[in-house]
Chains A and B, each alone.
Chain A
């Protein structure tokens, strides 16, 4: 059967529209799954008392030994180093100890560093339920990280910047700004990274 003139363009055009629609559905499902994932994990997390459980005269281990491995809580086979709360964005998220693409689909992850050494970097997908609204975090607003032992670290956002995907050294560096905690995610187009630097409050 001979196709009408112009049919090939229409068919390809329709295929592209269908592909766009499928991608849209997949992305919406992925965002929904990301939200369910963190909610499930937060339900299972056992929150410890942190400093309230210290004995009289006892100094927290992380002060005596900042180089210590951050303690973890294992849930569904993944190690979590604690939770991150951003009240102004209505976020309370579990943080996976080690990043990987598989882990990033589940929850925000530690990309590098330690809360005990004031150089922790956390990465997450730009799902609305993860770091999607990070660009709305304003200077002066608080971020609270609670480790697996219940020790709380409160930070204030100080700088928001955009870095290229190849800016690994700039991400790790403290030469431009002295920071204690860094959060980052992709911009909407995925071509850059939204980075928020925070200092201990």
Chain B
């Protein structure tokens, strides 16, 4: 016969067992598990325009960081020297990272200091797969995809660089995707001849509270297809910006910054402008307040007029009365 205390213990045990089963069930927000580092990865680029597939457009793939089975990234030796923040994991951070890296990568590739992990051109259906037949297998990691300037159908196509992680986490299915397809984004327009464009470099300082750490000037290089076209200095005298006009529109233009110091650099393209943002410090807001305890006195001094007039008239009245009251 089970007494009440034993019954209570049994109920508690059953509840603990039920809770344990519930807790080990994978929730929708839990990680997808470890990455299988032995599974080969591949990336297929799909390049489509309104007129049809973009064929024969060249792309390079650069390995920026390798990944372990936990998904943790380790920057490769080639990219360790870049003074950038490589670990933002949201779309916005990776868009900024890709646009920042593009210029540096093109320059270093031209110099022979960096080699792409893969190169190729799109086929008749506008697709390009890495690794291509005969090429080495791709390492698992974070890649930068850079497209070359291309003309077709009477239009030019300039691919927006982007980052892709191989394998990629499918957040809906909560699994690692080892075979990844990405649609490229293109900046496009009518391929005019001659085709002239303008480009502008604008410096933005993100260093509130650390303004005194800023250098007096910074050196910015304009690259045409990875080759240095021009070097300028940005400083307060030119409002930290410079515009190049009548540039060859058939060229892929980028800017990079030469900078020593504690600032991280981000380069984004907005319209024809390259915004070069340097970040320093924790960017916390300085204590507020204007340092003044009162708002400025912006009034014309009128109030003494009626006061003095009234006082003057009163005193004159008193004086006259006193004279009259003389015996």
Contacts and interface: CB of A to CB of B under 8 A. Distances in A.
Given A6-B323, A104-B298, A17 B303 contact: no
A14 interface: yes
Given A16-B315, A17-B308, A189-B302, A111 B296 contact: yes
Given A6-B323, A17-B313, A20-B309, A61 B301 contact: no
A19 B308 CA distance: 7
User: Mostly helix, strand, loop or mixed at chain B's interface?
Assistant: mixed
B326 interface: yes
A99 interface: yes
Contacts of A172: 288-290
A189 B313 CA distance: 21
Contacts of A187: 299
Given A24-B305, A189-B303, A64 B275 contact: yes
Nearest to B189: A57
A9 B275 contact: no
A10 B320 contact: yes
A106 B2 CA distance: 97
A165 B202 contact: no
Interface string B270-311: 111101000000000000111011111111111111101101
Nearest to A124: B298
Interface of A: 4-17, 19-20, 23-24, 27, 30-31, 55-59, 61, 64-65, 67-68, 71, 99, 101, 104, 111-112, 123-127, 131, 163, 165-169, 171-172, 184-191, 193
A61 B271 CA distance: 11
Contacts of A58: 198, 200, 271-273
List of 7 A-B pairs having minimum Cβ-Cβ separation, nearest first: A186-B299, A190-B299, A16-B312, A6-B322, A9-B319, A13-B315, A10-B319
A100 to B, nearest CB: 9
A188 B299 contact: yes
Given A30-B300, A55-B198, A64 B316 contact: no
A16 B316 CA distance: 10
8 contacts: A7-B323, A9-B316, A10-B316, A16-B312, A65-B202, A123-B296, A125-B299, A125-B300
